[in-house]
Amino acid sequence: MYRQVIETAKEKMKKTTSVYQTDLRSIRAGRANPQLLDRVMVDYYGVQTPLTQMGNVSSPEPRMLVVSVWDQKALPLVEKAILKSDLGLNPSNDGKLIRLVIPELNEERRKELTKLVRKGAEDAKVAIRSIRRDAMEQFKKLEKDSSITEDDRTKAEKKMQEATDEAIKGIDVISAQKEKEIMEV
């Protein structure tokens, strides 16, 4: 009975970790990566549309991204959305394409990005702890309903804590790797 609660919680923790990893892809580490623009939303005829659904993003050079939009009338909208994003990039629009030159990261910007990574890691850890808390409440409820014994609840809580510790350790490892990637010159 309690094993299913633990498995469900573990799945939720895995999803939280993968969402955190996806968010980290949009934090640039000095190299041009088309996934950098995955989170950019464009106000396209009153609808928030992901940039990736409006055109192609490519990286012809190590320090440059090129955005070619299918609807040329949307080019200024895309440019505005990139400027509004927290990426710190200045788009240059030639009427057909938008070019984004990825500047070298200075020390100050690197530190800002590592703070962003740490904040994301902390948010992910809070979400994982929340999943654990919900599972613990379910264990107590099962015990109250006489579905499991006190020993089973204690065992389940111990296993849940181990799963939580493992998930948090995984977040820490991912975070440390990204910080290292950002800080290398």
| Nearby residues of 103 by Cβ (< 8 Å), 6 or more positions away | 63
Question: Which position has the higher pLDDT, 76 or 87?
Answer: 76
CA–CA separation, 30 and 64 (whole Å): 10
Question: What is the total count of domains within the chain?
Answer: 2
- Whether residues 97 and 113 fall in one domain: no
- Whether residues 64 and 116 fall in one domain: no
Q: Taking a C-beta distance cutoff of 8 angstroms, is the pair 91, 80 a contact?
A: no
Given this model, what pLDDT does residue 30 score? 62
- Whether residues 146 and 83 fall in one domain: no
- Whether residues 119 and 70 fall in one domain: no
Q: Tell me which of 42, 76, 101 is where a domain ends.
A: 101
Q: Measured between alpha carbons, how far is residue 35 from residues 20, 96, 139, 147, 163 in Å?
A: 14, 21, 41, 48, 30
CA–CA separation, 35 and 26 (whole Å): 6
Question: Which position has the higher pLDDT, 1 or 175?
Answer: 175
- Whether residues 9 and 60 fall in one domain: no
Is the pLDDT reported for residue 185 higher than 70? no
Full domain range(s) for residue 137: 2-25+106-183
Chain-centroid distance, C-alpha 6: 24
Given this model, what pLDDT does residue 28 score? 64
- Whether residues 94 and 129 fall in one domain: no
Residues 116-173 have pLDDT tens digits of 899 999 999 999 999 999 999 999 998 888 888 889 889 999 999 999 999 999 999 9
What is the pTM (predicted TM-score) of this model?
0.69
CATH number at residue 83: 3.30.1360.40
CATH number at residue 172: 1.10.132.20
Residues 34-78 have pLDDT tens digits of 777 777 888 888 888 888 888 888 888 877 889 888 888 888 888
CA–CA separation, 67 and 86 (whole Å): 17
Q: Tell me which of 101, 123, 150 is where a domain ends.
A: 101
- Whether residues 80 and 129 fall in one domain: no
- Whether residues 131 and 94 fall in one domain: no
- Whether residues 122 and 156 fall in one domain: yes
Question: Which position has the higher pLDDT, 15 or 58?
Answer: 15
- Whether residues 67 and 158 fall in one domain: no
Question: Which position has the higher pLDDT, 32 or 158?
Answer: 158
Question: Which position has the higher pLDDT, 123 or 113?
Answer: 123
Q: Tell me which of 71, 101, 131 is where a domain ends.
A: 101
